[in-house]
């Protein structure tokens, strides 16, 4: 019941019906209907953009052997990691090359799956923590997430270090959410920089910044009232449900516009951004220090590159990167391999705009897995047995 006259009169105000309100509601209703009818398509587009396989793996009969969500829902796949207390475990870190299969054929498997099969022969299991365009800050977060529980603490990390990922910074939203929702992970994130800020000033400052952003009073924590309201809103309103997909679609169009505006093509030579490169170098240093502090081996390799496709690297900078990585591995006594030429030209694939310089076909995965196995065979076979579970 309306308590005062003014309030009652308000309900009879004709502007309520003749003003912009009804148009606003009508537009929102139409947008919701459109979003609802295109939701499945939007989700498919997003999956395609992440270069994920439609069912996560080409071998759906097998349990996951890498993070099928490719960084978007890591918490869901951590329990799928083979119990490190039962047999030695190797965590394979890397970007989209590790799981994307061009022209996928029946029976093709991704690198982490092939490695798991290879290693199983001598009693070691492998699991891939992979995500497209994985940068070193994110790799460090994945490492800490794996080290957070004894069951997922590996004996070795195997990291495919990619040159052009050294231009990327920041945690992707899904990994930032993981950090914001996991207090133990936040503590280990903070702990990484304790006493190391003078050696890794950029990395520690960036990590502090990332943590501060993750800890902002935000909407990201899954167990909050806010999140429950959002879930309810998403159930009721397709526009809210499709917000991430729409956001992704919009960002992708901005990316295309940027390419058009700056005339950027896959083969456009793009100099590395110095401070980002330096930041990623420092973060790799921290990743190694974390491994060493926990007595875990770190093995790094230079990713295969399509010899026939023109890549956007400036040759001199790429050479410097490889020399730096080799020197880094030597100075810290890490396993190192250069797999740049591991996959011949015929095993790569095509993109709509030319040869794919980064992703290969199934045979490329087999060759890369074999090259990894060959390069690190001695270290992998000598991995100590796990401490028995209590």
CB of 349 to other proteins, least distance (A): 13
CB of 59 to other proteins, least distance (A): 23
Is-contact 313 164, C-beta < 8 A? Answer: yes
Residue 203 half-sphere exposure toward CB, CA atoms < 13 A: 31
Element (DSSP H or E) covering residue 215: helix 201-215
CB of 384 to other proteins, least distance (A): 36
Residue with tokens 């401490």: 387
Looking at the Cβ atoms of 61 and 353, the one nearer to other proteins is: 353
Looking at the Cβ atoms of 150 and 173, the one nearer to other proteins is: 173
Chain centre to alpha carbon of residue 215? 20
Strand ranges in 133-272 using DSSP code E only, listed in sequence order: 156-161
Element (DSSP H or E) covering residue 236: helix 225-236
Is-contact 178 211, C-beta < 8 A? Answer: no
- Does residue 302 sit in helix, strand or coil? strand
Looking at the Cβ atoms of 63 and 217, the one nearer to other proteins is: 217
Looking at the Cβ atoms of 62 and 268, the one nearer to other proteins is: 268
- Does residue 366 sit in helix, strand or coil? helix
User: What Cα–Cα distance (Å) separates residue 137 from each residue in 167, 320, 335, 350, 388?
Assistant: 12, 21, 21, 30, 32
- Does residue 55 sit in helix, strand or coil? coil
Residue 129 β-bridge partners: 93
| Antiparallel, parallel or unpaired: β 297-302 and 335-338 | parallel
CB of 45 to other proteins, least distance (A): 11
Looking at the Cβ atoms of 260 and 388, the one nearer to other proteins is: 260
Residue 292 half-sphere exposure toward CB, CA atoms < 13 A: 11
Give the number of other CB atoms < 10 A from CB of residue 234. Answer: 15
CB of 101 to other proteins, least distance (A): 15
For the record, the structure tokens of 21 come out as 């309100």
CB of 358 to other proteins, least distance (A): 7
Is-contact 188 147, C-beta < 8 A? Answer: yes
Chain centre to alpha carbon of residue 132? 5
Looking at the Cβ atoms of 83 and 170, the one nearer to other proteins is: 170
CB of 71 to other proteins, least distance (A): 7
Chain centre to alpha carbon of residue 75? 13
Looking at the Cβ atoms of 22 and 123, the one nearer to other proteins is: 22
Name every residue whose Cβ is closer than 8 Å to that of residue 178 and which is 6 or more positions away in sequence: 74, 75, 141, 145, 185
CB of 210 to other proteins, least distance (A): 9
Looking at the Cβ atoms of 32 and 87, the one nearer to other proteins is: 32
CB of 142 to other proteins, least distance (A): 14
Looking at the Cβ atoms of 332 and 351, the one nearer to other proteins is: 351
CB of 266 to other proteins, least distance (A): 5
Is-contact 143 93, C-beta < 8 A? Answer: yes
Looking at the Cβ atoms of 262 and 388, the one nearer to other proteins is: 262
């Amino acid at each position: 019941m309306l308590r005062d006259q003014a309030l009652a009169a308000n309900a009879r105000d004709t502007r309520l019906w003749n003003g912009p309100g009804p148009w606003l509601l009508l537009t929102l209703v139409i947008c919701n209907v459109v979003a609802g009818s295109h939701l499945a398509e939007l989700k498919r587009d997003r999956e395609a953009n992440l270069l994920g396989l439609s069912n996560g793996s080409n071998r759906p009969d097998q349990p996951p052997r890498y993070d099928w969500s490719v960084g978007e829902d890591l918490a869901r796949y951590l329990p799928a990691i083979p119990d490190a207390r039962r047999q030695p475990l190797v965590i394979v870190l890397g970007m989209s090359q590790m799981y994307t299969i061009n022209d996928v054929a029946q029976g093709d498997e991704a690198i982490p799956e092939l490695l798991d099969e290879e290693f199983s022969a001598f009693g070691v299991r492998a699991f891939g923590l992979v995500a497209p365009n994985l940068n070193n800050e994110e790799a460090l977060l994945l490492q800490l997430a794996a080290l957070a529980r004894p069951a997922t603490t590996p004996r070795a990390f195997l990291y495919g270090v990619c040159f052009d990922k050294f231009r990327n910074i920041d945690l992707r939203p899904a990994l930032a959410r993981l950090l914001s929702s996991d207090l133990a992970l936040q503590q280990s994130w903070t702990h990484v920089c304790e006493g190391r800020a003078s050696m890794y000033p950029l990395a520690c400052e960036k990590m502090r910044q990332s943590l501060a952003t993750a800890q902002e009073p935000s909407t990201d924590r899954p167990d909050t009232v806010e999140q429950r309201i959002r879930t309810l809103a998403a159930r009721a309103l397709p526009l809210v449900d499709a917000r991430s997909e729409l956001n992704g679609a919009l960002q992708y169009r901005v990316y295309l516009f940027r390419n058009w505006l700056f005339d950027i093509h896959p083969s456009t030579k793009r100099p590395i951004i110095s401070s980002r490169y330096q930041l990623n170098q420092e973060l790799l240093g921290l990743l190694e220090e974390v491994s060493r502090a926990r007595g875990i081996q770190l093995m790094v390799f230079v990713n295969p590159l399509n010899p026939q496709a023109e890549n956007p690297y400036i040759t001199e900078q790429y050479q410097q990167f490889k020399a730096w990585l080799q020197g880094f591995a030597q100075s810290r006594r890490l396993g190192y391999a250069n797999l740049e030429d591991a996959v011949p030209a015929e095993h790569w694939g095509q993109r709509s705009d030319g040869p794919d310089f980064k992703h290969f076909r199934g045979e490329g995965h087999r060759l890369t897995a074999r090259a990894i196995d060959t390069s690190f065979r001695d270290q992998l076979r000598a991995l100590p047995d796990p401490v028995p579970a209590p």
